[in-house]
Amino acid sequence: MKTVFIIALVLAVSALAGPKIGGRVGYTTAEDPFSGLSADGAIFGGQITFPLMPVLGLEVSGTYTSTESDISMEDFVANYVEDEYGYNYNGNIDDLTSYLENQLGREVPGQGQMLSDYTATYHNLGLAGILRADIPMGVSPLSPYVGGGAGVHFVVSDADAMLGLIQQQTGGQAIDPYDHVFPSIEGVVGLTFQPLGAPVSMFGEVRLSKPFGDDAGDAIVTYFGGANLGF
């Protein structure tokens, strides 16, 4: 009975603390989803943390980042037919145009257009739920923490200009842009600074996100700095 009372008291105290809410900015190291090349850049987001116990909380966060790639229509179409039809492009543009005409029955843009560069933007919206454990440091305002959980990355492309041109050249047949959903596992390690009695805290964090699925790429490493409001 005493144990049950202590557990109930701990949960009640944690609930009284209330959730923390805040924002974050950082720098992410990742691969471009189309080319596989480096796509390092800025990332932005926010989070809300629900206390479960004095040293344990559930953090729900969302992040956004985008990258741009200058790619040729040849590469874009080759990637598309590989994803949709399993065609293995060998780098010979004549074989690619022959496949489009004879196997898919599509008109093919001129070679000049096929080799021209276009800019495609890829948008990455990440959502994650992380169980976070703080490591007590006595009366120190600094508190290290570690955590892990699961997430999902929604990656879409707005290569509208290229898609429109392809549609014109193929008799109006639609070609869908790059859009994928990648589930992921998440791991974090960080350090929180909260002055005694202050309703605001700041943190620095390293997050590792490993997406899964076709074309998911390697693990994404992100360095965050941010702040939270709440005790």
pLDDT tens column, 163-215: 555 555 555 444 455 678 899 999 999 999 999 888 999 999 999 999 998 77
Shortest CA distance to 214 belongs to which of 78, 83, 73, 23? 83
Q: Are 64 and 45 in contact (CB under 8 A)?
A: yes
| The two structure tokens encoding residue 2 | 């005493």
User: How many CB atoms within 10 Å of residue 69?
Assistant: 20
What is the Cα 168 distance to its own chain's centre?
32
Structure tokens at 195: 């002055």
Residue 161, pLDDT score: 53
pLDDT average, residue stretch 108-137: 81
Residues 6+ apart with CB under 8 A from 172: none
Looking at residues 49-55, what average pLDDT do you find?
A: 92
pLDDT, tens digit (0-9, with 9 covering 90-100), for 70-120 = 767 777 777 777 777 778 887 777 788 788 777 777 666 666 666 667 777
CATH code of the domain occupying 2-229: 2.40.160.20
Tell me what pLDDT residue 6 has. 45
* Residue 185 main-chain phi, psi, to 5 deg: -110, 145
How would you classify the pairing of strands 41-53 and 20-29? antiparallel
Q: What does 159-205 look like in DSSP terms, one character per residue?
A: -HHHHHHHHHHTTT---PPPEEEEEEEEEEEEEEE--TT-SEEEEEE
Calculate the alpha carbon distances from 73 to 27, 29, 37, 159, 161 in Å: 30, 26, 17, 11, 11
91 three-state secondary structure: coil
Percent pLDDT > 90 in the chain is 40
Nearest CA-CA partner of 206 in 184, 229, 227, 189 = 189
Q: Tokens at residue 33, please?
A: 């989803």
Mind giving me the DSSP string for 98-165? HIIIIIS------HHHHHSEEEEEEEEEEEEEEEEEE---TT-SEEEEEEEEEEEEEEEE--HHHHHH
3-state class (DSSP) for residue 87? coil
Q: Which residues 6+ apart lie within 8 Å of 10 measured at CB? A: 53, 54
